[in-house]
Amino acid sequence: MQKDPDVILAATAGFCPGVKKAIDRVLELAQSGKGPIYTLGPLIHNTQVIKMLEAKGIHAVESLSEVKDKGAVIVIRAHGITPEAETEVRSLGLEVVDSTCPLVKNVHSVIKRYAAQGFATVIVGDKGHAEVVGLMGYAGQNAFVVAGPEEAELLPPLDKVNIVAQTTQEEDVFLKTSEVIKRRVRQVVLSNTICKPTRDRQHETVDLAGKVDLMIVVGAKHSANTARLTALCERLCPRTIHIETDKELDAAMVRSARRIGITAGASTPGWMTERVLSRIQKTRRWEARSVWNTLGKALELLVDSCAYTGLSAVGLTYVCMKLQGCRPEDGLLVMAGLFVFSLHLINRIAEKGAGSSETRKIDLFETHRLPLTAAAFASGLISLSLALFMGIPIFAVVFLCWLIGALFPFRFLYGSTGLIDFPGSKDIATALGWGMVCAALPGLRQGIVFTKANYLAVVFAILLVFMRSVMLGISAVHSDLIVGRENFYKALGARRTYITLASLQVLLTGILAGLLAMGWKGHLVAALLAGNLVFMAGSALGHARRIPQGFWGEAAVDGQFLLLALLAWVSGRL
């Protein structure tokens, strides 16, 4: 979908670092086989994310009395708890994991330091909020919570005061409240503990709300920081709405607005705001009704249903056959395409069932779950049948690879074996599976397995598919999808991931350039080298713009295999 220049999504919308860290921590626990896992209260204030975590065996409890399992793991949520509550938790003898946001912990330290010096503590925040309750626990008896300047006027006489802020407080409210307290107290320490992500989000929101005539704030209704963003927007843009999901959008309001701004709270995942953005653009009918628009929607359906991925596997298999000097065989091409289509569809269905969600695919898998499941297993069965027709050795390899791939998302089956818990396991397993079926099996089928040409094709396929999987994983992380260390990018971080991708691109280019210099399959290798250079240029552009994102990005990444297949076919005609 083309971007509407009059619909602006704030760059700071989405999870803050503290929320990301807390979610990553509990996912690592779930994937390590530990459990059951309980969080003291909701890990973050977002209903949709909490449901996703529950589906992965991570449950929120309001009281420790609800924890009955002796082997349970207790997670202290991002908002933090009081010292007394932490002592009680640790006294149970269970494993305790502290996921308190580091910036909240900093406020704890500030409060403790000045309370020890005899300062009263005034917290500018929401009385009863989970974070504020935790802060009060570090302040001792001489502590007060005020929501703003009006409540500050009602404070009793105080001699020495340390003023702190709830980390998601509105800065203007904090400063105005502090001015009131300064006039009434002899000695004041001003500890502006509003976190930087909150400041950045508020500053961008103020700037954006002043430029649009409709402001949309996405996030849970019970989220304090989202409510503050909404109040901030309402002062600058009278037409401001606060929604939790895209289904709450008012189509008439969206169509009538000239310019729309979108922001989101710190506990709102990126995929939710992307869904809102997508629905707004569709509602405004910004795209022209044309043949290209129709083709775009057809391509989107192919990508979302994994059929496009299956076609890309056919393309890669064709390229690997040409590299090995095999004669193209329709049965192998169809088998590889159905094999990849089946496994990717099974994994998508399983991930949706486990709570993982993607911006475009959620509706597809919610409304067509049964037929998609039937298609996944039917295509897998046809793939296995074709393999059996080609001989027992090929069937054995295809069956084993298919079984491992189909069971991969059901991590509980592996227990604590550690078989799939190593960093980047999903990306590595995907590359090995494709490499086996798209490159090794054609060599086995035509009796040239364990030859140099076969090795070359297998390495070529594994490198390409691994890079493909990692790039799509980057998009998943940027969209705040619930993914763990099986995602290479999530496990190793941005810097190492991009260095790895660049190194593999250089390695692949070097291999093809070396083969071309030796005169080995000149036309074919030249065509593949040209295709790889084109994709390298696209990858560099994608990195600069933090893509691939959206179905066009996914189509481009998988489309490289179709491009290489086309170039390989053309080279054979020269």
| Span 456-487, pLDDT tens digits | 999 999 999 999 999 888 877 776 666 677 78
CATH assignment at residue 146: 3.40.1010.20
| Tokens read off for 434 | 């494709």
Looking at the structure, do residues 437 and 359 belong to the same domain, yes or no? yes
Q: Domain check: are 308 and 393 in the same one?
A: yes
Query: Do 274 and 309 share a structural domain?
Result: no
Q: Which of 238, 319, 363 is nearest to 563 (CA)?
A: 319
Residues 95 and 158 in one domain: no
Give the model's pLDDT for residue 482: 63
Tens digits of per-residue pLDDT, 170-226? 999 999 999 999 999 999 999 999 999 999 999 999 999 999 999 999 998 888 889
* Residue after which a domain boundary falls, among 249, 283, 317: 283
Is 449 within a domain?
yes
Pairwise CA distance, residues 508 & 564, whole Å: 14
Q: Are residues 329 and 458 in the same domain?
A: yes
**Could you tell me if residue 1 is inside a domain?**
no
Same-domain status, 110 and 94: no
> pLDDT value at position 27?
82
From residue 405, give the alpha-carbon distance in Å to each of 139, 348, 539.
53, 12, 27
Q: What is the pLDDT of residue 96?
A: 92
Angle at 326 between CA 320 and CA 330, to 5 degrees: 80
How many whole angstroms separate alpha carbon 215 and alpha carbon 537? 37
The answer to the question of residue 227 being in a domain is yes
Pick from 106, 111, 55: nearest CA to 354 = 55
Here the tokens at position 390 are 């080609």
Q: Which two tokens stand for residue 251?
A: 């189509």
Q: Count CB atoms within 10 A of the CB of residue 221.
A: 12
Segment 432-459 mean pLDDT: 94
Q: Are residues 392 and 523 in the same domain?
A: yes
Work out the mean pLDDT of the chain and round it to a whole number.
87
Cβ atoms of residues 490 and 483 within 8 Å: yes
pLDDT digits (tens, 9 = 90+) for 237-260: 999 999 998 889 998 999 999 999
Q: Decide if 347 contacts 487 (C-beta within 8 A).
A: no
Average pLDDT, integer, range 117-141: 94
Classify residue 288: in a domain, yes or no. Answer: no
Q: What is the CATH number of the domain that holds 29?
A: 3.40.50.11270
- Least confident range from 34-48, 251-265, 329-343: namely 34-48
- How many Å separate Cα 35 from the centre of its chain? 23
- Alpha-carbon distance 222 to 488, whole Å? 34
User: Looking at the annotation, which residues are catalytic?
Assistant: 131
Q: How far apart are CA 107 and CA 167, in angstroms?
A: 8
Let me know if residue 2 belongs to a domain. Answer: no
Last residue of a domain, one of 100, 133, 159: 100
Answer whether 184's CB lies under 8 Å from 156's CB: no
Is there a domain that residue 291 lies in? no
Structural domain for 241, as ranges: 7-13+198-283
Sheet of strand 37-40: strand arrangement: 58-61, 37-40, 73-76, 95-98
The CATH number assigned to the domain holding 422 equals 1.10.600
Same structural domain, 143 and 212: no
* Total domains present in the chain: 4
Which DSSP symbol is given to 156?
A: P
3-state helix, strand and coil shares in percent for the chain, rounded to the nearest 5? 60, 10, 30
Q: Is residue 292 part of a domain?
A: no
Q: Which residues lie across from 60 on neighbouring strands?
A: 39
In a domain? residue 290: no
Q: How far apart are CA 316 and CA 88, in angstroms?
A: 58
Question: Could you tell me which of 562, 348, 482 has the C-alpha nearest to residue 15?
Answer: 482
Is residue 259 domain-shared with residue 372, that is, in the same domain? no
- Asked if 503 and 360 sit in the same domain, the reply is yes
Rounded mean pLDDT, 339-349: 92
- Quote the CA–CA distance of 300 and 306 in Å, as a whole number: 10
Distances (CA, A) of 451 to 98, 328, 461: 53, 18, 15
Q: Which of 172, 193, 214 represents a domain boundary (last residue)?
A: 193
Looking at the fold, whether 117 and 222 belong to one and the same domain comes out as no
Element (H, E) at 374: helix 369-389
The answer on 337 and 252 residing in a single domain is: no
Round to whole Å and give the CA distance between 574 and 283.
48
412 has a pLDDT exceeding 90:
no
